[in-house]
Amino acid sequence: MDFIDADLFRYIEGHTEHEPELLGRLNRHTHLNVLRPRMLSGHFQGRVLSMFSHMIKPTSILEIGTYTGYSAICLAEGLQQNGKLTTIDINGELESIVRRFIGDSPYGEQIEYIIGDAMVEVPKLDATFDLVFIDADKANYTNYFDLVIDKVKPGGYIMADNVLWSGKVLEKNRKKDDPDTLTILAFNKKVADDPRVQNVLLPIRDGLMMLRKK
């Protein structure tokens, strides 16, 4: 994930809005107690997600991949007063952390947390969304896109994380026939070729694909 010089990245963080106190605690708790803490969005990307959410001003958000709840709280910061965020994760082992920190946030009443397989749970949702954030198992990225595209309002947005995959999208950086990289490559090509969306791939952290439904 480390594409930017460490000193330059510290400068970027130092000139980005401070990480809110609750999210700072969640960041630290995740790094001390949970496996693979790099999956956390973290300070810089979290502020990016918050900024996008404030710009879009959504009334409905869907997140696929909750982890410890950090990105859900960031995205909820931009919700309209009557808005709702639904976040889905298959890993129930982190439930106590997620519910604790979401409950401590100002958005506890606006966030619905579902434990289950998104491929099963998303079709059950009788809703359309202004914003969808995909940050779950990479093998299903194209499936998740296909699942949500018709649930996104015209003019709405889909964001997908980790689309640079630590630089392994470049042939010189990847092992031959790495399945996760191949699925990311397939997803990136699919959405770039899809006439239903406008897309831009942003080199934010591990790559953030931004899609606007036409």
Alpha-carbon dihedral sign for residues 84, 87, 88, 91: negative
Res 177: pLDDT = 78
> 37-41, 85-89, 114-118 — which is least confidently predicted?
37-41
The CATH number that applies at residue 52 is 3.40.50.150
Query: Which of the 8 DSSP states describes residue 151?
Result: G
Output the average pLDDT for the chain.
Answer: 95
State the total domains in the chain: 1
Asked if residues 135 and 65 have their Cβ atoms less than 8 Å apart, the reply is: yes
The reply to whether 137 falls in a domain is yes
Res 173: pLDDT = 87
User: HSE on the CB side for 39, CA within 13 Å?
Assistant: 15
Q: Report pLDDT digits (tens) over 47-58.
A: 999 999 999 999
Shortest CA distance to 163 belongs to which of 110, 108, 204, 214? 204
> Mean pLDDT throughout 11-19?
96
Res 2: pLDDT = 65
Cβ neighbours of 142 (radius 10 Å): 17
Res 52: pLDDT = 98
Res 22: pLDDT = 98
Owning domain of residue 129: 6-213
Res 196: pLDDT = 98
Pairing of strands 197-202, 129-134: unpaired
The reply to whether 20 falls in a domain is yes
Q: Name the band, by pLDDT with cuts 50, 70 and 90, for residue 115.
A: very high
Percentage of the chain beyond pLDDT 70 is 99
The reply to whether 1 falls in a domain is no
Please spell the DSSP secondary structure of 45-109, one letter per residue: HHHHHHHHHHHH--SEEEEE--TTSHHHHHHHTT--TT-EEEEEES-GGGHHHHHHHHHHSTTTT
| Spatial distance between the Cα atoms of 18 and 34, rounded to a whole number of angstroms | 23
In the predicted structure, residue 1 carries a pLDDT above the cut 70? no
Cβ neighbours of 19 (radius 10 Å): 19
Asked if residues 213 and 156 have their Cβ atoms less than 8 Å apart, the reply is: yes
> Mean pLDDT throughout 102-120?
98
Q: Report pLDDT digits (tens) over 70-109.
A: 999 999 999 999 999 999 999 999 999 999 999 999 999 9
- Residue 193: both structure tokens together: 């070729």
| Spatial distance between the Cα atoms of 109 and 136, rounded to a whole number of angstroms | 24
Q: Report pLDDT digits (tens) over 177-213.
A: 788 999 999 999 999 999 999 999 999 989 999 999 9
